Amino acid sequence: MRSPHIDGRAPNGCLKRLMMMVHRDGLCCPDCKQREHLHIHRYHSRSRVADYRCWSCGRIFNLWTGTPFQGTHLSPPKLERLLQLSRRGVSSSEISRRLDCDRGSLARFRHKLERELRQVLGPLPKKRPRHTNPKR
């Protein structure tokens, strides 16, 4: 049986790709590392990220608990776009304009995210130079 096609622009497609990025071996409880008996506890329609309850230890957590994305309130499509723009070296000011969010909190989250990714992936690409008008 073929798996259903996931539209990359759809929120569920973004969520699935982000989940595979941070949970390569599958979702597990951050406390007891149990992979089975995880049930949706509540669903936040605004962020589109569910909270799970581990029936083994009772812990409630979400997909971002214990990952570099912990603490973000960005929706999965915005989070994926942030990663794409950061990878290209776009400034936090420009990203905040494109995503329509607060520049200060976005910059703090982006720096935290880049620190954690640097530990895992090594140095990130250099930011692209700002465009300046050439002298004529």
Give residue-wise pLDDT tens across range 53-107: 999 999 999 888 988 888 888 888 888 898 888 888 888 899 999 999 899 888 8
Going by pLDDT thresholds of 50, 70 and 90, the confidence category of residue 120 is low
Q: Is the pLDDT of residue 6 over 80?
A: no
User: For the residues 2-30, what does the mean pLDDT come to?
Assistant: 69
Q: Is the pLDDT of residue 51 over 70?
A: yes
What does the DSSP 8-state code read for residue 86?
A: H
Is residue 95 exposed (0-12), middle (13-18) or buried (19+ Cβ within 10 Å)? buried
Q: Tell me the C-alpha to C-alpha distance, in Å, between residue 93 and each of 36, 62, 76.
A: 42, 29, 20
pLDDT at 116: 76
Going by pLDDT thresholds of 50, 70 and 90, the confidence category of residue 39 is confident
Q: What is the pTM of this model?
A: 0.68
Cα distance between residue 51 and residue 38, in whole Å: 10
Is residue 13 exposed (0-12), middle (13-18) or buried (19+ Cβ within 10 Å)? middle
